[in-house]
């Protein structure tokens, strides 16, 4: 059931002008753990505390579909680029791949501990997964099996994304910062380091694959030029570990969450803050942007889903 609760988040304006950030009047009164938006429209998938994966409409805040099959809560979810599939990864290391239309699914097993992150390639035929077992796996979804395993060997792999061609994998790590691996043989091609040597909890890249952002345990958000393989800037303002980063589909905005209980929104053109959202999860809220009309979804300190509009 979706509860009609009065919004309690506080928005703290910061010096960067041009955008307006407002919470949608009623939050979704259900406990969520992770999000992923569809490649078009307002739908988003969420891994829920009740072991289900639900599809919501950000505009109406209605539940559109409930997917059941996991025996443990899903902490990672991804929506395929063509919109046909949703992948979810649970605390017991099981990955399920769902047909959005029918709700049918199949299971992928191989990791030894809980799933942290999932990401499809551009064609939707392969899936990346990172796990608490310090490995990254590449899955062939047609064959339903692992075709590549990358071992962290103690550097702790967090989050992963393909480059546009699907030939490289960008990964956040605690031991070597942002890293670049070959998608064909798993070879480490480059370690970007920095963030004071304390590591990276998450990474994201823009749709043109020219910029990357990193969530640092030093409380900073790193902004990187991928063509030149160098850092452009650090965005500062969080008071604790930055846990999640997410670039908007057009690359103009960035949302970052931290263990300080805030989500910050940044203007990526001027590299300036737009707003600070208070009363967010102190675990570091998941953050996700809609493909249409600037919706931003987070998890509040009460673990309920919160939806914001970000307009210019």
Which DSSP string do the residues of 50-87 spell out, in sequence order? TS-EEEEETTT--EEEEE---SS-EEEEEE-TTSSEEE
The model scores a pTM over 0.75 = yes
Element (H, E) at 173: strand 168-173
Q: What is the dihedral of CA 257, 263, 266, 272, to 10 degrees?
A: -100
* Ranges of H-type helices in 129-285: none
Q: List, in sequence order, every residue forming a beta bridge with 137; answer none if it has no partner.
A: 129, 149
Comparing 30 with 278, which gets the higher pLDDT?
278
CB neighbours of residue 151 within 10 Å: 12
Residue 43's nearest CA partner among 61, 25, 31 is: 61
Residues of the chain above pLDDT 70, percent:
94
Q: What is the pLDDT of residue 3?
A: 30
Q: What is the pLDDT of residue 128?
A: 98
Residue 87's nearest CA partner among 69, 64, 112, 60 is: 69
| Every domain of the chain and the residues it spans | 4-311
Comparing 208 with 146, which gets the higher pLDDT?
146
Average pLDDT for 43-52: 97
Residues 116, 136: Cα–Cα separation, whole Å: 10
Q: What is the pLDDT of residue 312?
A: 86
Tell me the CATH number for domain 4-311.
Answer: 2.130.10.10
pLDDT digits (tens, 9 = 90+) for 82-132: 999 999 999 999 999 999 999 999 999 999 999 999 999 999 999 999 999
CB neighbours of residue 83 within 10 Å: 16
> How far are the Cα atoms of 130, 203, 237, 245, 304 from residue 158, in angstroms, in the given order?
6, 8, 22, 12, 24
What is the β-pairing status of strands 168-173 and 126-131? unpaired
Q: What confidence tier does 10 reach under pLDDT thresholds 50, 70, 90?
A: very low
């Amino acid at each position: 059931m979706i509860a009609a609760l009065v919004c309690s988040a506080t928005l703290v304006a910061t010096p960067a002008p041009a955008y307006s950030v407002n919470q949608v009047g009623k939050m979704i009164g259900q406990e969520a753990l992770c999000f992923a938006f569809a490649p078009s429209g307002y739908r988003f998938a969420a891994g829920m505390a009740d072991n289900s994966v639900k599809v919501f409409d950000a505009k109406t805040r209605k539940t559109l579909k409930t997917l059941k099959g996991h025996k443990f809560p899903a902490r990672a979810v991804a929506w395929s680029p063509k919109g046909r599939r949703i992948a979810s990864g649970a605390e017991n290391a099981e990955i399920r791949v769902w047909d959005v239309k029918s709700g049918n699914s199949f299971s992928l097993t191989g990791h030894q501990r809980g799933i942290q992150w999932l990401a499809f390639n551009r064609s939707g035929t392969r899936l990346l997964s990172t796990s608490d077992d310090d490995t990254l796996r590449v899955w062939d979804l047609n064959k339903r099996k692992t075709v590549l395993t990358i071992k962290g060997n103690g550097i702790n792999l967090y989050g992963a994304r393909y480059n546009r061609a699907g030939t490289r994998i960008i990964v956040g790590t605690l031991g070597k910062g942002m890293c670049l691996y070959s998608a064909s043989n798993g070879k480490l091609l480059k370690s970007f380091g920095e963030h004071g040597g304390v590591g990276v909890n998450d990474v994201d890249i823009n749709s043109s694959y020219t910029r990357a952002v990193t969530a640092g345990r030093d409380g900073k958000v790193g902004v990187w030029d991928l063509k030149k393989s160098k850092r452009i800037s650090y965005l500062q303002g969080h008071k604790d570990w930055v846990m999640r980063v997410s670039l908007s589909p057009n690359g103009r905005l960035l949302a970052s969450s931290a263990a300080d209980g805030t989500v910050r929104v940044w203007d990526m053109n001027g590299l300036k803050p737009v707003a600070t959202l208070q009363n967010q999860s102190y675990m570091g809220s998941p953050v996700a942007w809609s493909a249409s009309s600037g919706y931003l979804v987070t998890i509040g300190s009460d673990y309920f889903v919160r939806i914001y509009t970000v307009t210019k």
